[in-house]
């Protein structure tokens, strides 16, 4: 499996680290906004090609699949371009920043029959897999989820603290993780509400947001998001169920009383990004639909689109 990576920033390197642990995978090309960064990362991971133009990678006969870790605003167009070039593609979350663009990617996947997977990493974190297995096994039913997604990000910075060229978004990126996970664990979302705080004068985005969800099973979710939080960073999930309470922090899981849960054996790795990449490669090799395929996550973007529309209406009232 010969793979090109576009977007050699902090998250791109996490994917490259994961790919290096998968047998039979070769990193062929690294594309980034800056040529020197692309060349440096390509050298580090043994890629024979680097550059600043995704089309160069798409034109190569030795590229089977592409992983997109580029700015959100490019995701839909680039995912379609990859499939038009006959390449399988994994696009990092979010698939798009509009419902219309998300639908266009799904349509292209249906036309081409290629593997198109979206990086909804929470489906792959061992912590959430453990809970999912309990649900599927009939041992646990979610009654409520309380989720906090907190960062201190008042400038355009990536996870390494480096300046980046684009603006992140609480709704289309960070809320997407929880909206999809809630539906994955409980069922289709039938009600969704959102409120947002003031927009940042320079970034032009809301820095605080509150979202409520209800699934067809009756389970509810309360999600708080902030880029203003000067404290512990990340996303923290509290699963409140009929038989237990679990708290998930990325790849770690504890009980409601903060007792660690041993996740050994849940998956072949304890790294959610690596597991996500393993699923992408395996789905292509086996000719099957991957977990978090564009088709399986598309309903998340329906909900996000509805929430975005409601927030625009609220802005019109002020």
Per-residue pLDDT, 142: 98
pLDDT score recorded for residue 165: 57
pLDDT interval class at 204 (50, 70, 90): confident
What is the Cα–Cα distance from 164 to 202, expressed in whole angstroms?
14
- Full residue range of the structural domain in which residue 185 is found: 122-267+302-317
- Are 263 and 162 contained in the same domain? yes
H/E stretch holding 31: strand 26-31
250 and 131 in one domain? Answer: yes
Q: What is the DSSP letter of 72?
A: G
Residue 163 has a pLDDT of 61
User: Same domain, yes or no, for 94 and 191?
Assistant: no
Q: Is residue 171 located within the same domain as residue 261?
A: yes
Q: What does the pLDDT read at residue 197?
A: 94
Say how far apart CA 111 and CA 67 lie, in whole Å: 20
Is residue 208 pLDDT above 70, yes or no? yes
Task: Identify the band that residue 156 occupies on the pLDDT scale cut at 50, 70 and 90.
Answer: low
74 and 128, same domain (yes or no): no
For residues 52 and 79, membership in a common domain is answered with yes
Residues 271-283 pLDDT 10s: 999 999 999 999 9
Task: Give me the pLDDT at residue 317, please.
Answer: 61
- CATH number of the structural domain spanning residue 166: 3.30.360.10
pLDDT value for 159 = 57
User: What percentage of the chain exceeds 90 in pLDDT?
Assistant: 86
Q: How many other C-beta atoms lie within 10 A of the C-beta of residue 256? A: 13
pLDDT tier at 316 (50, 70, 90 boundaries)?
A: low
Cα distance between residue 263 and residue 171, in whole Å: 30
Distance CA 215, CA 181 (A): 11
pLDDT reading at 161 higher than 80: no
Confidence bin at 162 (pLDDT 50/70/90): low
Residues 133 and 212 in one domain: yes
Q: Is the pLDDT of residue 164 over 70?
A: no
Residues 253 and 288 in one domain: no
pLDDT, one tens digit per residue, over 100-127 is: 999 999 999 999 999 999 999 999 999 9
Lowest mean pLDDT among 43-52, 159-168, 210-219: 159-168
pLDDT at position 303 over 70: yes
- 21 pLDDT above the threshold of 80: yes
Looking at the structure, tell me whether residues 126 and 227 fall in a common domain.
yes
Domains identified in the chain, total number: 2
Helix, strand and coil percent figures for the chain, each rounded to 5: 40, 25, 35
Q: Are both 82 and 190 inside the same structural domain? A: no
Residues 6+ apart with CB under 8 A from 282: 290
Res 205 pLDDT > 60: yes
Residues 225 and 177 in one domain: yes
Q: What is the pLDDT of residue 200?
A: 87
pLDDT tier at 170, thresholds 50, 70, 90: very high
Q: Is the pLDDT of residue 166 over 60?
A: no
Rounded distance between C-alpha atoms, residue 158 and residue 162, angstroms: 5
47 and 161 co-located in one domain: no
Q: What is the mean pLDDT of residues 88-104?
A: 97
Helix runs in 48-155, H state only: 54-58, 75-84, 99-112, 126-136
**Do residues 81 and 54 make contact, with C-beta atoms less than 8 angstroms apart?**
yes
Arithmetic mean of pLDDT, 298-318 = 89
User: What is the tens place of the pLDDT at every residue in 48-73?
Assistant: 999 999 999 999 999 999 999 999 99
| CATH (domain of 99) | 3.40.50.720
Continuous H helices in the chain: 10-19, 35-45, 54-58, 75-84, 99-112, 126-136, 176-186, 272-286, 294-317
């Amino acid at each position: 499996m010969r793979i090109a990576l576009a977007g050699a920033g902090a998250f791109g390197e996490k994917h490259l680290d994961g790919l290096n642990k998968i047998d039979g995978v070769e990193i062929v090309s690294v594309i980034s906004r800056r040529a020197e960064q692309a060349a440096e990362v390509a050298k580090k991971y043994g890629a024979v090609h680097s550059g600043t133009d995704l089309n160069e990678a798409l034109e190569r006969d030795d590229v089977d699949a592409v992983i997109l870790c580029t700015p959100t605003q490019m995701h839909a167009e680039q995912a379609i371009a990859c499939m038009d070039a006959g390449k399988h593609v994994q696009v990092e979350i979010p698939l798009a920043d509009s419902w219309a663009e998300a639908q266009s990617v799904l349509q292209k996947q249906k036309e081409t029959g290629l593997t198109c997977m979206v990086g909804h990493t929470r489906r792959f974190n061992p912590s959430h897999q453990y809970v999912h297995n309990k649900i599927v096994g009939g041992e646990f039913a979610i009654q409520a989820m309380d989720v906090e997604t907190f960062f201190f990000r008042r400038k355009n910075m990536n996870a390494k603290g480096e300046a980046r060229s684009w603006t992140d978004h609480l709704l289309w990126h960070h809320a997407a993780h929880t909206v999809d996970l809630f539906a994955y664990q409980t069922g289709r979302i039938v009600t969704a509400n959102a409120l947002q705080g003031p927009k940042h004068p320079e970034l032009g985005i809301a820095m605080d947001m509150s979202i409520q969800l209800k699934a067809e099973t009756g389970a509810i979710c309360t999600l708080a998001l902030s880029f203003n939080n000067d404290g512990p960073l990340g996303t923290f999930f509290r699963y409140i169920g009929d038989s237990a309470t679990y708290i998930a922090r990325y790849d770690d899981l504890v009980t409601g009383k903060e007792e660690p849960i041993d996740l050994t054996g849940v998956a072949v790795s304890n790294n959610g990004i690596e597991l996500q990449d393993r699923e992408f490669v395996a789905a292509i090799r086996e000719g099957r639909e991957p977990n978090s395929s564009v088709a399986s996550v598309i309903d998340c973007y329906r909900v996000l689109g509805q929430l975005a529309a409601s927030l625009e209406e609220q802005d019109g009232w002020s």
